[in-house]
Structure 1
Amino acid sequence: MQEFFKEYLQVHGYWVLFLGTFLEGEAILIFAGFLAFGGYLNIYLVMLSALAGSFLGDQF
């Protein structure tokens, strides 16, 4: 079950984070930080996705 969750997050985690930060979701960014700390997501891709989502959400 844990492998399925890890694979699912690696496929969908970054675009969900992008969408969440685009829509002003700070809670999803905190959750993504915990997932990166746990090794489920790459911290650099989390930062890039959150930066892009926040910036584009602000500009939109």
Structure 2
Amino acid sequence: MKLRINGEWLTVPETVDTIGELLGHFQLDQRVVIVEQNETILEKESRSEHKVQDGDTIEIVQFVGGG
């Protein structure tokens, strides 16, 4: 399946069915991130319910500390 993630087209396994599984695939499921799917910001609690489809646009934003 092809997804546009943070502006780049990537191929992910067909077994990735939800946003939660997508975050797990990229090892981001334990990090604090904001996820936008097709221009809609998703609530953290609903990520396992939101299905991904071929051609979806996903933005994943991580917070990074520094000074």
Same fold per TM (> 0.5)? Answer: no
TM-score, normalising length: structure 2: 0.24
TM-score, normalising length: structure 1: 0.25
Relative to total residues, which structure has the larger helix share, 1 or 2?
1
